[in-house]
Structure 1
Amino acid sequence: MTSSYGLHGRAAVVTGATRGIGRAVARTLAEAGAQVCVSARNPDEVRRTARELGGVGLPGSIADPGHPEALTDLCLSTFGRLDVLVNNAATNQPYGPLMDADPALWREAFTVNVEAPLRLVQCAWHGWMREHGGTVINICTEGAGHVGPGVGAYGTSKAALLHLTQQLAGELGPAVRVNSVSPGLVRTEMARFVWEPGEDEIAAGLPLERIGEPEDVAGAVLWLASDAAAWITGADVLVDGGTRVRRARTAPPTTRTTHHLPGA
């Protein structure tokens, strides 16, 4: 059973792969046997991450019109294949009320969080997956299922990515499986402003009594990328420590009443 999680002989592209969730995903896939091609903005961090994982990397912004094709070409020219694509790179700007949102930053949120993943899937499809198959995992967010202060642009764009995941799953099967992973609050630099001021209080309100670690998300990605999830597509896997069911922990006790069924 364990062997079904192995990725030996496969190649993976991971965006936003030098920090946080992306780095944990890239490392986990490499440890499972995959050859990894990483992408992120900082050239030094890309080179260091690629070297540590024994893979290759391409620095640059995923929003750059030429980056998805160049990243796909690098993976194919180096490893001769592209079996797994993890769209992790994202932006949480503009942060704040939508009535004050800068239109340019709003458009950038959708360019990075929705358009770029689609373009990468297109490149992977035409370059390899249409003929040979593969799997795509989009990193969404538990927050796409509800509203919250300050994160309107991020949540709306991630909700669009969630729908895009399902649409692509319907269009690209059976050759390609397309799924998403939706993390709750994870200990990353990007989310530091949320978890650091009140980590203990936040953790106490969750059924699993801790915030997430990048490795928690990486484990779910590995499962979806592996043959263990061979009959799963169009799914969204929540990795949130029970965020969506936390209200049950704080609900006031109710008085037990006895209900009599008719005829009893």
Structure 2
Amino acid sequence: MRLDGRAAIVTGGSRGIGFAVAQGLLASGADVLLTARDGIGVEEAVERLRAGGGSGERRGRVEGRTGSAGDPDATDRWVRSCLELFGSVDFVVNNAGANQPLAPAVNGDPAVWLDTFAVNVHGPLALVRAAWQVWMREHGGAVVNVVTEGVHGAGPGLAAYETSKAALLQLTRHLAAELAPGVRVNSVSPGLVRTELARHYWEPAERQLASATPMRRLGEPEDIAAAVVWLLSPAAAWVTGTDLLVDGGRRVAPRR
């Protein structure tokens, strides 16, 4: 799945799933513009990615930019930076996500809902719009939105997060229909992955959670990254408008 000469924007790329996606794309030869809110985190991530080369096939180049995925001005800047740095904007990976403090839908802070939807729904749309207008409309491309397995259920206190991700899933379908045949748009729904963002879920009961999963382990960021890179690659040339559930089989685990 070589992607030499292609360029990608990966949001929320300073750690976790986004960092692993950037690693996978660079290893396949693609250039990567990595973005996140934390400037120091972006700088450190770029340094680690550049240092992780080694011998073998050509690796892509990586640069970093800061800003909020929920800020349309920032997403516009990222697209133009990617074009200036690498000469194209072939791939967009909307990985950045706002996971606010747990709260029921009926009495959650309205400001939290607005911020969550800004980052998880409006931001991805703004980034795809900018990429479409600047590059993809004429040259094609592929988009992957990172959703969550939670859209298939209702996690306690996760109303804002899961509802916004469900909206992103539906947006994925609409964009796939609207931008075909030149641009493919898909999503990945990760199960419980061992990231810092989800640490408070998995760390207190990792062994029990793993044993309840048919694959007998929790996910790693690299598991999700492999799915994302595949969906962006020519190997998935006839795949669009789909959601790839990557959860270690949790959804088919026998009920106890």
Offset, 1:211: 0.5
Instruction: State the distance in 2 between where 1:170 and 1:197 align.
Output: 42
Q: Secondary structure at the match of 2:118?
A: helix
CA distance, structure 1, for counterparts of residue 72 and residue 175 of structure 2 = 21
Asked if the contact 2:72/2:127 (under 8 Å) is kept, the reply is no
Q: Please say if residues 15 and 45 of structure 2, whose CA atoms lie closer than 8 Å, have aligned partners that are also in contact.
A: no
Per the TM alignment, residue 148 of structure 1 is displaced from its structure 2 partner at its CA by 1.5
User: Percent identity at matched positions?
Assistant: 54
Q: Which amino acid aligns with 2:18?
A: G
TM-score normalised to the size of structure 1? 0.91
Is 1:46 aligned to residue 53 of structure 2? no
CA distance in structure 1 between the partners assigned to 2:240 and 2:72 by the alignment? 28
Match of 1:23 among 14, 19, 38: 19
Return the alpha-carbon distance in structure 2 between the equivalents of residues 64 and 179 of structure 1.
22
- Structure 2 SS opposite 1:182: strand
Deviation at 1:183, TM superposition (A): 0.1
The one-letter amino acid paired with 1:98 is A
Taking the aligned partners of 2:246 and 2:118, their CA distance within structure 1 comes to 25
Give structure 2 stretches of 5+ with no counterpart: 51-60
Question: Structure 1 regions of 5+ residues with no counterpart?
Answer: 251-264
Residue pair 1:94, 1:102 contacting (<8 A) in 2 also: no
CA positional deviation for 1:144 = 0.5
Aligned residues: 245
Which residue of structure 2 lines up, in the alignment, with residue 211 of structure 1?
A: 218
CA contact (8 A) 1:7 1:32 kept: yes
**Does the CA contact (< 8 Å) of 1:37 and 1:50 recur in 2?**
no
Give matches, 1:182-261, under 5 Å: 182-247=189-254, 250=256
Which segment is superposed worse, 94-103 or 238-247? 94-103
Instruction: Kindly indicate whether the alpha-carbon contact (under 8 Å) linking 1:136 and 1:225 is maintained by their aligned counterparts in 2.
Output: yes
Q: Is the 8 A contact 1:179 1:224 kept in 2?
A: yes
Larger radius of gyration: 1
State the TM-score, normalized to the length of structure 2.
0.94
Shift >4 Å, 4+ stretches:
none
